[in-house]
Amino acid sequence: MHERRYRASQTEARKKDAREKIQLGGLVVKAGLRSEDRAVILGALIDATARLGDATERARLTAIGKAIFDNDSKEADAAGSAGGDDVGSRAWAPGF
């Protein structure tokens, strides 16, 4: 009985981990980095991690991300009312 619950909790933990990795991969695609070399993506993420200690830089990056998500929500709403199937995938434009 205990082993069954343990296995179920392990399975649930693996599913949660897989779901999180899929969502994070989706962010890489949303950022327009699908075709970039993995070393470039990792380097960019490491660089961003170092920059997050600066509150101004964190706020700037947050604003960029929120703007993209907000735009996607608006596009989805418009597509839903128009009956379209717009995915809204595009690369972030530098100089935001």
Residue 31 has which token pair? 């950022």
Closest CA to 84 of 74, 94, 92, 70: 74
**pLDDT higher than threshold 90 for residue 32:** yes
What mean pLDDT comes out for the span 61-82?
88
Q: pTM for this structure?
A: 0.66
Closest CA to 36 of 89, 86, 91: 91
> Whole-angstrom Cα distance, residue 18 to residue 3?
22
> How confident is the model at residue 87, as a pLDDT?
43
Contact 56/62 with Cβ under 8 angstroms? no
> How confident is the model at residue 48, as a pLDDT?
96
**pLDDT higher than threshold 90 for residue 1:** no
